[in-house]
Chains A and B, each alone.
Chain A
Amino acid sequence: MATKSKTPKHPVDIEGLTGDAAIAVALRQCDVDVVSAYPITPQTIIVEDFQKFAANGETHTKVIPVESEHSALSACIGASAVGARVATTTASAGFALMWEVLYCAASMRMPIVLAVANRALSAPINIHNDWSDSYGGRDSGFIQVYCQSCQEAYDTTIMAFRVAEDRQVLLPIMVCIDGFILSHNVERVEMLPDETVKKFVGVREPFQNLDPDNPITLGPLCLTDYYFEFKEQEDRAIRAVPEVYKRVEAEYEKLTGRSYGLLEKYKTDDAEIIIFTHSSPAGTAKAVTDVLREKGEKVGVLRLKMFRPFPTDAVREAVKNAKAVVVFEKCMSFGAPCNPLALELRTALYEAERRPLVADFVIGLGGRDVPPETIVQGIEKTKDYLKKGKAPMYETLGVRK
């Protein structure tokens, strides 16, 4: 959970909102110039709510309805290139259709905010939550942040513009929420006044934007002679994100009393077993932790907020005293040594002086429920592995087998 805001410095409007609705409100408040999106479950409410705001004249935003997600992000790049503040949203198959353009947005250094309501990929067609869609785009150059609550979705969307548009960064950012679990469930959300958000996000100051009076070319052909250098630039830009994020969040915290960090440590300080996950399973894992702690078990949760760039050093530091780290992840990387989240963790730990045992559990694919029992089962298995001194590279949990 975020730091509790006992005395917010600004009057707040409190409403019960779904994760999607919270993001739509944040987008309305962020003075976005262009939204181009194609509705897809479970992100649809974001587009619907936002279209409603636009139709009612509650925002000056130009909404561009398009025929596909490929076009949606392409239109966003065009708008961002002339200096507009731009946002879009997608999920699952729509995310997959954006694929080619994801890399263009990042490589052309367009600070677009992309809200993703994480949903499984076909086939079989499935509208429910797992992380296969945005995990697939983890190497695209987008910044990726994952939210655990509707409040966090609202807060993160607002901060996202500041992070993306920072001159040190200039990269697009994905704000991810778990489809249905967050996108469609109503939670208490504190909203800042419109004027406060507007002041916080400010006006985008574009860099090397298209301007008829000063013509330049963006996104030209580039082969063996320069391409590599532009990738070097991009890599350095994403490495600058953590510092910028921390600065933006510190400023946001002054307004709201809420902050999240790149990583959230929940009872990890003396924990022997640390659960490593993000998004909605992190909430379940915290509930499990509370119960197990009452029984005297030293368990904690390390909730990852920023997947890209991956906070390698911070993760290594957070788990250094644990005996085991239990990864719960809603994605399968078919044929890989283990799955994306555990791959990152194991890589981060390779250089550590003392490596805790790592157990990787794939859970909740296609929206399969992840009840507290699943988390407990993973912890129990990990205890066995600790006794044996070895864990399998990964296994599935919650599947009939």
Chain B
Amino acid sequence: MSTAKGVLRFRIYEPGDEARILDVLEKCLHGWRGRDRAELMALWRWRHSGRRDFQPDDIVVALIDDEVVACFHGGVFALRYDEGLSVPVSLDGDFAVLPEYRRSGIPDDAHDWMDRTLLRRGVALRGGYASVELNRRFYHKRFGYVFIPSVTTYYRRLLDTEPLGALLAAAGRDLLRHDALRAHLAHRGRWIVALNLEALPECHLVATREGLQLERGPAERPDMSVRLSQALLAASARGALPFVLRLGLELAWGRCRVSGLFRNWRTVLLFVWSMLGRRETGV
């Protein structure tokens, strides 16, 4: 097949392709960047060529003038479709096209190429990892991919304040668009809240007109102190009613405690007012 950049051809994996495939993955996929090469090679081998039932057909590379410009990985597994019934499916991943060769239809052609191979192998379904947004924007319209309604629930619990810090910094950028709050914090200087979050290291929140920052360790002279459970943080992401109900329970059980609220009523009120005016973002 001829393209503006040269003659494009597809072929299945051949031993010795590893380094060139890794180059493409490192250049294209976030998860493959900035990691030790030996570690990446071990990961790639485990996922693909090191699997006992691996077949060279599982990997397709796109070449232009004998240079690997894109790679597409799959793997055939037995998926449980019903009690006592498994169907062969291909679970795809690690799709990458070098930036300079994008918008030339390589993924479409590679998808068709792999479809023909999978059909020959008797594979019934093909699964791929994508966000709902990416599916709607691209995969559904282009190839027909759909999500099967599932009962899969994803649960997450914090063990460290680091992810919370990033979320608070993002929320701060949003909240401080509110002029009254920004002016109040400019007048007040630093507003420090000591945070005692269940099962997390001690930390404190520093609010200034520039933004919100979560710092590790105890606060020296906090304006306010808050003790919260992780269940309350999780309830805050489920909406206002679950949050209020949980807050009532936590206060009654003594698992949630706030001190210095009356001394800081004005700042707290401005934060709440600012929060009401923004879109909800869960912790």
Q: Is the A/B pair a real complex?
A: no
Instruction: Show the binding face of A for B, using Cβ within 8 Å.
Output: none
Instruction: Show the binding face of B for A, using Cβ within 8 Å.
Output: none
